Structure 1
Amino acid sequence: MRHLTLISGADDTHTLDALFINAPLRDYGLRPRTNDYTLPVLGMAYIATYAQRCGFNVGVLDAEAHGLGIEATAKIVNTAAPRWAAMNLLAPTYEMSARIAAKLDPGIALMVGGHHAKAMPDRILADSRMHNLRALVLGEGELRVAALLEDEQRRRGLPAVLWRDPISGTRAGGIADPATSAQMLGPNINTLPYVNRAFLPQDPYQAAPTVTDRRLAASRGADWLTAAALHGHREANIVGSRGCPYNCTFCGAAWSANPDVKIRVRSPENILGELDQLHDEYGVTAFRFVDDLFLGVRDVIYEHMAVFARHRIGEKYVWDATGRINVLDRLSDDDLDVLVANGLREVALGIESGSDRILKAMDKRIDAEMTERVALRLLSHGIGVKGYFILGFPGETREDLDATVQHIRNLWAIADHHPGDIRASVFEFRPYPGTPVWKTLTAAGHKPDDLLAYGDVDLTQDGADESMRQRDEFNFSVGIQFGGVPLEDLRATLAMLTREQHERNQGGREVAA
């Protein structure tokens, strides 16, 4: 029963209507997790929050955050005995999810959703390990999950809900009411309740102080910034929008993989209400926007920054956000000054490669020169940059890989002469079903079973042990050489760059989060 305390947000005095399960990336019962923090499951928490608001007793079991193995996770679910177990299926964790599902008591009904469920529904419906799968929900789940919790038979009238017919064994689906389908599939995100952070065991969290925090404290002189420079901010993750207008070929959020998703942006007033709530309830003073659009559309930036300025947000909070290089390239210096005044601390950029040829194959709509130009302008304004890079993209040659290594070192050199810092986060390419590049790979003869054979990779043999500590959950691979560089060399390069970034961190630059 002690392990039931790992269930977040539920009322343990009443029967659980649903337990939402985030499967671990690997079986931590076999090898313990080494990192201390994982990204919160905001999408799952949104669904749980809405269900709770509708009167259902629900909880979240984040097996990845708690470092649980397959056996421990299944035991907790069976002991809790919810009416429904709900899983968010992702390609890297699908095997873990299926193995957990196979161990669940037959009296627990199973529902699933997520990118993998959307990309490969028939494959999942046919998986015998999902023996009690009663609803596969495609797309955003808040309204339809609540309807299923109210009455399983409602699935017959819900859009984009599938199940396996118990008699024929074939796919069955609801016949939706056209008058309600659009709202069911794409709810108004300004009317959804703010995420109940009780469902997130690691958010908000206490972050370590950074070089940027110390710089901001010195330049602005505010007492709360001085305290953060000494002790770190209380931080929380947040989303400001849903959907993405871009079509990066490797990304599960690419618009061609999600033609049913209507792009929606939360109103700035709605966002500010959540910032203030998190500050009042948890003492949060730093926020991380993890969605694709917050600094990805110029009109959205202008609209939100006008309201941020009116409410003097930069005097109360700092925040980080994802951004698009081509969009930031079109902002003026005055626009960047406005972002800084409104509290912008760091921008996460999908830089991906230093090879213009590979960037074109990725449909990134940028080139290496543009990235260095944007980084220079951001860093000179004191805005930090976290750059994400992919090694081993299909067709990548040794020259392309060398260009990426040089690109990262050029960006580090720029940071060495400006107040902002740049952190490089490097990953091995992984194919995701439903993405444009997945279709290219399967058309070229790669078998889906091979592309889905995810396994974790231990990079400590390349001397990157401590430097890999905060990215244990990202070191996994399907074990296929997609470009011209052998995997052994690719991983040695990844470990080298990660170690060099770690050494920069230890030398006084910002500590990776």
Structure 2
Amino acid sequence: MNATAGTGRGKIFLIELSPAVPNLGKFIVMPRFGLLAIASVLSDRTDYDVSLLFEPYVGKIDVDTIARKEPQYILINGLTTTADQNESFISSLRDRMGGSVAVIAGGEHATMFPEDAKRYADYILAYEADDTAVPLLSALEEGDPETRESLLSQIPGLHYRDLSGTWRFNRDPARVDRIDYRYDFSIVPGAESAARRFRQAYMPLQTSRGCRYGCSFCTWISLYGKTGYCVRPAEDVLHDIVHTIEYTGVRNFVVADNLFAGDAAYTEDLMHRIIRTFEGRDDKPLFTVLCRADQFTGKAGSLSEKTIRAMAKGGVSNVCLGLESINSRSLLQMRKKSDLQTYHAAAECLRRNGIGFAGTFVAGFDGDTYEDVVNIAEFGERIGLYTVQVYARGIMPGTVDDILSTHRNIPGRLDKYVNGHTVNIFPTRMLPSDLQQGIFEAAFRFHDREDRKAALNAFRVIWRAIRPHQEALLRIEREILVPEGIYTSSGPGFALNEKALQAVAEDEDAYGSFAKRCRTIFLEAERMEPPGDARVVLAPAIA
């Protein structure tokens, strides 16, 4: 890797815009770890003047202010919900600067939906960019066009235009050999006062990358390009914890690993390092981590009580368990390799060790009924979760679900509403709008008590924000899905007619017309005023 890329002090802005339509992440103040990691890499290994702009820290990012700084490069990241905002922002910036700035897109949305990112980006760095961002900038500094194109053609995961203007993609991804970065908050304006300014200030932290499992819906392989699980050097993790606390005052960390504690020996060593480092200090860190339930059952392959006690002592205050479903058929379909007995065992283990635990669920698999979705609330109470987060099943590029069921995606949806909470697929055992309502009914039922009021209010805000999407689903059902037999009456509700949907998907003209009509409805719903009463009407569920 070129450690001295860049000539002079050309300005680089890394920009993260806040989505217009909220998800649960809206209710904590936390920059995304990917952009923070890449910003730190560029600050450490190049001589560019690097700044990461995070809107909650710096306020609304103003195009004119950015243009006056005359940046050489803009690196922009974001979820699908900010894709349109990214395009609008970059278009305005280019108008101000006369097209003189090179724009590089990366992250989840750009990796999985590069055609969208091509609307505003000159280059797209897919997959992990730790080892490719600096070589890309070095190549762009090359003055000879043919030499520059040759260098670009050798960067794994890069989308770029060749000399003829044709987009090329270096398809073969290269997983990083070593996760090699350390946070540098001096390049993040506003970070120094984060803890003082924001009651809900958190920081992301990474201890590992990848996963040892392959659930059918999970996007991690798509995002990294290849399988594999590796841990980050413990000394680098410890640096980020200490640097975060001492520079920003933030002590609450969300560990962004796909699978925390996938390497038990490493985890135990890291926890003991944290314990020693913060012994006698009042600013000990607190961690929320994502784990599987079967890591806490006491069976072969699960974490030992010794390791779990070390986690608790080292500051792991909350474990977010990826439970996904309470329906055995759906668990089998998503290749979760788990069951309700495992969930109960994990809950008992974590309770015994004084660690709080939440549950995330993915609703909309083929086994799920409306009652299954709503009854997540009752199940969460029964095993002692402190919160439940029910997300809608998404069928994303490169996943197992995409290979088997890509025709089940609802066409024409608006990117701004793809926030994890909205339904964008055709479920099997209920209408899309019923699944949408069930997801929020579960959240409202679980959090409808005094000590969970903050979470209840957050879900209410999200529900109101996605109402145009829900209204569009209802209209698509009334005008297309039911009249044309894609959904048929089944008992008290409706069920998907898979053959009818497959017939439409396989007929290019029919599907084009179907997609166009759906898109029109989504756009028209977006322009309408939402209904005055946006509350979910709670229906009786089967306990």
Q: TM-score, normalised by structure 2?
A: 0.68
SS in 2 for 1:488: helix
SS in 2 for 1:450: coil
1:194 matched to 2:186? The reply is: no
Q: 2: distance between equivalents of 1:313 and 1:364?
A: 39
Q: What's 2:33 paired with?
A: 42
Deviation, structure 1 residue 346: 0.5
Q: What's 1:148 paired with?
A: 136
SS in 2 for 1:388: strand
Q: What's 1:171 paired with?
A: 168
1:17 matched to 2:11? The reply is: yes
Aligned partner (choices 374, 380, 401) of residue 437 of structure 1: 401
Contact 2:317 2:355 (8 Å CA) reproduced: yes
Q: 1: distance between equivalents of 2:454 and 2:353?
A: 17
Question: How many corresponding residue pairs?
Answer: 431
Q: 1: distance between equivalents of 2:313 and 2:25?
A: 37
Unaligned 5+ residue runs, structure 1? Answer: 1-13, 209-230, 416-420, 458-472
Contact 1:325 1:349 (8 Å CA) reproduced: yes
Pair 1:371–1:313, CA change in 2 (3 A): farther
RMSD across aligned C-alpha pairs, in angstroms? 3.9
Q: 2: distance between equivalents of 1:511 and 1:262?
A: 37
Q: What's 1:413 paired with?
A: 382
Structure 2: which amino acid aligns with 1:48?
A
SS in 1 for 2:122: strand
Q: What's 1:379 paired with?
A: 351
Q: 1: distance between equivalents of 2:249 and 2:41?
A: 24
Q: What's 2:286 paired with?
A: 318
Q: What's 2:71 paired with?
A: 82
Q: What's 2:122 paired with?
A: 134
Q: 2: distance between equivalents of 1:499 and 1:323?
A: 24
Structure 1: which amino acid aligns with 2:178?
N
Q: Where in structure 2 are the equivalents of 1:14-413 lying within 5 Å? A: 17-26=11-20, 35-53=26-44, 54-63=46-55, 74-75=63-64, 77-88=66-77, 90-105=79-94, 106-121=99-114, 123-124=115-116, 127=118, 129-130=119-120, 133-152=121-140, 153=148, 154-167=151-164, 169-171=166-168, 186=176, 188-189=178-179, 191-196=180-185, 198-199=187-188, 205-206=194-195, 235-253=202-220, 255=221, 258-260=224-226, 262-309=228-275, 311=277, 316-329=284-297, 330-393=302-365, 395-398=366-369, 401-413=370-382
Contact 2:30 2:201 (8 Å CA) reproduced: no
Aligned partner (choices 475, 479, 500) of residue 445 of structure 2: 500
| Percent identity for Structure 1 against Structure 2 | 21
Deviation, structure 1 residue 35: 4.6
Contact 1:324 1:349 (8 Å CA) reproduced: yes
SS in 2 for 1:422: coil
Q: 2: distance between equivalents of 1:149 and 1:451?
A: 36
Q: 2: distance between equivalents of 1:504 and 1:512?
A: 11
Q: 2: distance between equivalents of 1:381 and 1:512?
A: 30
Deviation, structure 1 residue 90: 3.9
Structure 1: which amino acid aligns with 2:42?
A
Unaligned 5+ residue runs, structure 2? Answer: 1-7, 141-147, 459-543
Q: 2: distance between equivalents of 1:245 and 1:414?
A: 26
Q: 1: distance between equivalents of 2:196 and 2:455?
A: 12
Q: What's 2:539 paired with?
A: none
Pair 1:169–1:233, CA change in 2 (3 A): closer
Deviation, structure 1 residue 383: 1.0
Q: What's 1:218 paired with?
A: none
SS in 2 for 1:248: coil
Q: 1: distance between equivalents of 2:436 and 2:169?
A: 44
Contact 1:41 1:200 (8 Å CA) reproduced: no
Q: 2: distance between equivalents of 1:486 and 1:194?
A: 46
Pair 1:512–1:173, CA change in 2 (3 A): same
Pair 1:100–1:278, CA change in 2 (3 A): closer
SS in 1 for 2:110: helix
Q: 2: distance between equivalents of 1:91 and 1:450?
A: 15
Deviations 1:168-195 (A, max 9, x none): 5242659x9xxxx96xx51522x42224
Q: 2: distance between equivalents of 1:357 and 1:34?
A: 30
Contact 1:50 1:193 (8 Å CA) reproduced: yes
Deviations 1:133-164 (A, max 9, x none): 43222222234322333440342443332312
Pair 1:314–1:379, CA change in 2 (3 A): farther
Contact 1:18 1:58 (8 Å CA) reproduced: yes
Pair 1:246–1:369, CA change in 2 (3 A): same
Deviation, structure 1 residue 297: 3.7
Deviations 1:268-290 (A, max 9, x none): 33322322233333334433312
Deviations 1:191-228 (A, max 9, x none): 422242642757985499xxxxxxxxxxxxxxxxxxxx
Q: 2: distance between equivalents of 1:96 and 1:195?
A: 27
Q: What's 2:471 paired with?
A: none
Q: What's 1:219 paired with?
A: none
Q: 2: distance between equivalents of 1:251 and 1:203?
A: 35
Q: 2: distance between equivalents of 1:240 and 1:356?
A: 32
Deviations 1:8-47 (A, max 9, x none): xxxxxx975322222443379xxxx995535421111111
Structure 2: which amino acid aligns with 1:57?
D
Q: 2: distance between equivalents of 1:79 and 1:56?
A: 17
Q: 2: distance between equivalents of 1:198 and 1:318?
A: 24
Q: What's 1:464 paired with?
A: none
Q: What's 1:470 paired with?
A: none
Q: 1: distance between equivalents of 2:445 and 2:405?
A: 32
Q: What's 1:8 paired with?
A: none
Q: 1: distance between equivalents of 2:112 and 2:261?
A: 27
Q: 2: distance between equivalents of 1:116 and 1:34?
A: 16
Q: What's 2:491 paired with?
A: none
Pair 1:279–1:99, CA change in 2 (3 A): closer
Structure 2: which amino acid aligns with 1:367?
D
